[in-house]
A and B are shown apart, each in its own frame.
Chain A
Amino acid sequence: MSPISRGFRGRRRAEADPARVPPGQYVTDDFPVLSAGPTPHHPIESWSFTIQGAVDEPVSWTWAELQALPSETVTVDIHCVTKWSKLDTVWTGVSLDALLEGVETSAEYVTAFSDGGYTTNLPLEDVRGGKAWVAYEFGGEPLEPEHGGPARLLVPHLYFWKSAKWVRGLELREEDEPGFWETYGYHNYGDPWREQRYSGD
């Protein structure tokens, strides 16, 4: 049981529906940036997105090929482990269902990998069934490099570090392998509604 913080009243935002704000989060209109290193700038001409690992044949899309796939525009709430949540964010990209269609695999996990060396791990089922996208537009504009452009993973039902910036592909794995932040003590799964911020939460 937490003690009362003498004199603390809080500044609750009346307009934010509490049912949409996970425990320990606050709603912001800003779009803060959190990255472990410099923002990479990979030339779009040699950019590709690759699904590899536990598959018969790796499959790859160039930037032009990705853009040519049917896109979806979704409005979702996003939740960062550093406590901010941003409601009704609008993203455009390609559903992971479309990219994984026809991929035969016995894998149950994926590791998303990015320019700059960032990785994050997720169960395969968490990127299927309309739950994940490779997003290249935010608010109708090309995704800015500091927010993960040209393209980032978008998995809004998990804390936002799982939505890997500068994503370049998925490694399909039969066994789970912790990614970058997951090896530094962050939670392996990261469900904001169960407040799974850190290992053991």
Chain B
Amino acid sequence: MARAAVLGRLTWQLGRVVELLDETDRVRSIVLDLPEWPGHRAGQHVDVRLTAEDGYQAQRSYSIASAPEDESLVLTVERLDDGEVSPYLADELRPGDELELRGPVGGYFVWEESLGGPLFLVAGGSGVVPLRAMLRHHAAIGSDVPVRMLYSARALEEVIYREELDLLAASHEVDVRFALTREWPAGWQGYRRRIDRALLQEIAWPAAEQPLVYVCGPTGFVELAAGTLVELGHDPARIRTERFGPTGA
């Protein structure tokens, strides 16, 4: 496994909320002005810290949704109803507010051109966020690494970045496929099921092409997708995963 440069100290810094974008009913993107941002690589995340009036603090990690080349840093946050930090970020935060964060964090679930491809990106729900940073980076540098993406969501209304992904797909630069698991709009031409072996076999690059695979989503989704790809002959060392959410264990 590759060695990365040892990073300097990650200090807390203040960003100002420039804009808030409603992506779906439960998901909001936070556009930040961060004068001291050191830059990041596509796929990395940040730690956000909130402070209450009595000094109580809470920290959580959020994936960066923007490409390194984008003008502003963007975080995309899904509201978890029993959460402590995400409801604040998704409902309470207003333009002009300050937000304390530090980063970038993580160096393995990252794509950059030197890693090559072909790329296969597999998203479950809000697991699309760091993969969207990779897609934007891929477009920004004009990479000719071939990309396929499989995005599983419950319903079309829950697909994050839908317009952007539709545009990408229409441009034929990236092959984007949606699998909807619970509700389908009239005339839906995409997949109507959870991901399974047949679906992955159909959409993924063949194992013989040694694709580089990034899977991000809830734990069960990632276990299933990554495990099935290994069964299909993919090299485990070329499958990078990021999991979130509880297991119920």
Query: A: which residues have CB within 8 A of B?
Result: 2-12, 24, 26, 28, 30-40, 82-83, 116-117, 138, 144, 146-147, 180-181, 183-185, 197-201
What's the nearest-Cβ distance from chain A to residue B240, in Å? 6
Indicate if the CB atoms of B236 and A40 lie closer than 8 Å: yes
B35 touches A (CB below 8 Å): no
B9 touches A (CB below 8 Å): yes
Indicate if the CB atoms of A37 and B236 lie closer than 8 Å: yes
Which of B99-107, B139-147, B193-201 is the interface stretch? B99-107
What's the nearest-Cβ distance from chain B to residue A190, in Å? 14
Partner of B246, one of A28, A180, A198: A28
B52 touches A (CB below 8 Å): yes
Known pairs A10-B50, A12-B56, A200-B7; A36 contacts B105 (CB<8 A): no
Query: B: which residues have CB within 8 A of A?
Result: 1, 3-4, 6-10, 12, 14, 47, 49-53, 56-61, 84, 88, 92, 94, 97-100, 105-109, 219, 223, 226-227, 229-230, 236-237, 239-241, 243-249
A66 to B10, CA, bound (A): 41
A31 to B249, CA, bound (A): 6
Known pairs A7-B92, A185-B4; A37 contacts B245 (CB<8 A): no
Indicate if the CB atoms of B245 and A32 lie closer than 8 Å: yes
Known pairs A37-B241, A38-B226, A198-B10; A8 contacts B92 (CB<8 A): yes
A35: chain B residues within 8 A (beta carbon): 241, 243
Known pairs A28-B246, A38-B236, A83-B61; A180 contacts B1 (CB<8 A): yes
Known pairs A5-B51, A82-B61, A199-B9; A184 contacts B107 (CB<8 A): yes
A3 to B4, CA, bound (A): 33
Indicate if the CB atoms of A5 and B50 lie closer than 8 Å: yes
Partner of A36, one of B57, B84, B109: B109
What's the nearest-Cβ distance from chain B to residue A43, in Å? 15
A38: chain B residues within 8 A (beta carbon): 226-227, 229-230, 236, 239, 241
Chief secondary structure at chain A's binding surface: loop
Question: 9 nearest interchain CB pairs?
Answer: A200-B9, A30-B246, A184-B107, A38-B226, A31-B249, A185-B7, A5-B50, A2-B51, A11-B84
A40: chain B residues within 8 A (beta carbon): 236
B219: chain A residues within 8 A (beta carbon): 32-33, 146
A11 to B85, CA, bound (A): 9
Nearest residue, chain B, Cβ from A141: B249
Indicate if the CB atoms of B107 and A32 lie closer than 8 Å: no
Known pairs A32-B244, A32-B246, A146-B247; A198 contacts B105 (CB<8 A): yes
